Amino acid sequence: MISDPPPGATAISTAATIVIVGAGQAGGWAARTLRSEGFAGRLVLIGDEAHPPYERPPLSKAVLAGEAAPASTWLHKPEAFEALRMEWWVDTRVARIDRGAKCLEMSDGERLSYDKLILCTGGKARVLAVPGADTTPSHTLRTIGDALSLAPELQPGRSIVIVGGGWIGLEVAATARRKGADVTVVEAQSRLCERTVPPEISEHLLGLHGAHGTRVMLGARITGIAQGADGKSVVTLADGSTLACHAIVAGVGLVPNDALARDAGLACDGGVIVDRSCRTSDPDIFAAGDVAVAPNPWAGRRLRLESWQNAQDQGIAAARAALGLAVDYAPLPWFWSDQYGMNLQICGIPLPSHRVVARGTPCEDSFLLCYLDGDVVQAAIGANAARDLRFARRLIEQRRQVDPDRLADLGVPMAKQ
Ligand SMILES: Cc1cc2nc3c(=O)[nH]c(=O)nc-3n(C[C@H](O)[C@H](O)[C@H](O)COP(=O)(O)OP(=O)(O)OC[C@H]3O[C@@H](n4cnc5c(N)ncnc54)[C@H](O)[C@@H]3O)c2cc1C
């Protein structure tokens, strides 16, 4: 929640310079918010990609499938981007933060002073770290360029091995199957998306992918990759077996881009640590999006969220905080994934200790699972149940007691719980 400015909050001077590092979704929202909140000073957005701020979810879905143009992902229409009257330093990499001098140094040596700095540097796709990885071509999926380079592989007659059965791996698998490629997913854990969903959802995902002809290998660790004889690549597994394929995709997680912050001596722990006003351990530096690790009251600990919703909302919150407005950012985690026409949404943090109350069953096309602590809904997961999930979200936010029997009764609409 973002509250109104406290009485007497000092407005930031129009002579001030605010610099945003990272022209992704969080950075784009921070820029937009600074202007919409009335900041009239110098605003500089620095990004090391060749594109204006864009949203990444379509990269594993419509853009990867060739059904949407890369420019459709841009966060701002060109006129709206122009209207922000900011300097956009495109294809520019910030190499160092000199906190003493309140100055940034670019990789080409150029320097830029700031009064307030917002770090929205996101993360990079983790690459495979097995023998042969440095000599065998493989794909990751984080940028528009990554999606455009992988897309031609997704067609009948091509075989793809996806390493990692997490969200990116599974969405690539679904898109690849839809485009007619032969797909194998190799997952080291004993179930899919093990880090983020309970076993019943992993089972549902396994069934869904199996039903669409994706081969899923669980508990399978890769030990090496290599180039084969016939232009194919070869993936070797820990049990000695091998998989030949036309393309390897690594969907093995994200490494937060926090090196800039770490080198500048900011507190970091698997990302840049911020407080609930998005402020780092330096009062003039803020962070938002995939790179930020923030206290989360819903989790009772610090969390780094990798989600579209958080990139937007925390970007907005960090911009407001940089302007001196009162901010208390305490997001209820929310994430969605689209696979084979199934829209899965996860709200809150389901825990093994929760009691599961089901509306529908996970073997059906549409269901909602609510995760209760006592009689209070703490989390919900819905498949093709966006409307019900919105009501579940409200129950979670209101921490309202429910009657579990009524909750399970499909005859009682979620709106009446
Ligand atoms: C393929 C894919 C599919 C996704 N699907 C979903 C989904 O279905 N649902 C969902 O909720 N979320 C999804 N996400 C997650 C969501 O897109 C991210 O959480 C979001 O993009 C994070 O935004 P960000 O601005 O923090 O980081 P990013 O979008 O990564 O932006 C950071 C930018 O900073 C730049 N940068 C880094 N360091 C520097 C530097 N030193 N100098 C200059 N620039 C720098 C980077 O190059 C990058 O352009 C998906 C992500 C991907 C990759």
**Average pLDDT over every residue of 325-329:** 97
Residues 127-146, mean pLDDT to the nearest whole number? 98
pLDDT (mean) for 343-372? 94
* Residue 11, pLDDT score: 59
By most ligand atoms within 8 Å of CB, the mutation choice from 19, 25, 142, 168 for ligand 1 is 25
Q: Tell me the CA–centroid distance for residue 124 and ligand 1, in Å.
A: 8
Confidence tier at 10 by pLDDT (50, 70, 90): very low
Other CB atoms within a 10 A radius of the CB of residue 305 amount to 22
Q: How far is the CA of 4 from the centre of ligand 1 (A)?
A: 28
Percent of the chain with pLDDT over 90: 94
CB of 105 shorter than 6 A to ligand 1: no
* Residue 7: predicted pLDDT: 42
Which protein residue has the closest C-alpha to ligand 1 atom 27? 122
pLDDT at position 151 over 80: yes
Tokens for 155, please give them.
């067609």
* Confidence band of 373 (pLDDT split at 50, 70, 90): very high
| Mean pLDDT value across residues 104-132 | 98
Our mutation pick for probing the ligand 1 site, out of 168, 172, 308, counting the most ligand atoms within 8 A of Cβ, is: 308
Of all protein residues, the one whose alpha carbon is nearest to atom 31 of ligand 1 is: 24
Burial class (CB within 10 angstroms; exposed 0-12, middle 13-18, buried 19+) of 7: exposed
Expressed in angstroms, the distance from the first to the final Cα of the chain is 24
Q: How far is the CA of 67 from the centre of ligand 1 (A)?
A: 21
Residue whose CA is closest, atom 53 of ligand 1?
142
Nearest CA, atom 21, ligand 1: 56
Q: Boundaries of CATH 3.30.390.30 in the chain?
A: 341-416
Superfamily of domain 128-250: FAD/NAD(P)-binding domain (3.50.50.60)
Angle, helices 25-36/308-322, rounded to nearest 10 degrees: 40
Given a cut of 70, whether residue 197 has pLDDT beyond it is: yes
For domain 341-416, which CATH number applies: 3.30.390.30, 3.40.50.620, 3.60.15.10, 3.20.20.70?
3.30.390.30
Per CATH, which fold does 17-124+254-322 belong to?
FAD/NAD(P)-binding domain (3.50.50)
- 255 ligand 1 Cβ < 6 A: no
pLDDT-derived band of residue 15, with 50, 70 and 90 as boundaries? confident
Cα 303 to averaged position of ligand 1 atoms, centre (Å): 16
- 256 CB burial (10 A radius; 0-12, 13-18, 19+): buried
- Helices 199-211/167-178 angle, 10° precision: 20
**pLDDT, average across residues 43-59:** 98
Kindly report, residue by residue over 276-307, the tens digit of the pLDDT: 999 999 999 999 999 999 999 999 999 999 99
Q: In the sheet that 116-119 helps form, which strands lie side by side, from edge to edge? A: 87-89, 42-46, 17-21, 116-119, 285-287
Ligand 1: distance of its center to the CA of 95 in Å?
19
- Mean pLDDT (the chain) is 95
How far apart are the CA of 92 and the centre of ligand 1, in A?
16
Ranges of CATH 3.50.50.60 domains, the chain: 17-124+254-322, 128-250
Output the CA 221–ligand 1 centroid distance in Å. 27
Please give the model's pTM, rounded to 2 decimal places: 0.96
Enumerate long-range contacts of 191-194, CB under 8 Å, 24 or more apart: 191/218, 192/165, 192/166, 192/216, 192/218, 193/165, 193/166, 193/167
CA of 407 to the centre of ligand 1 (A): 36
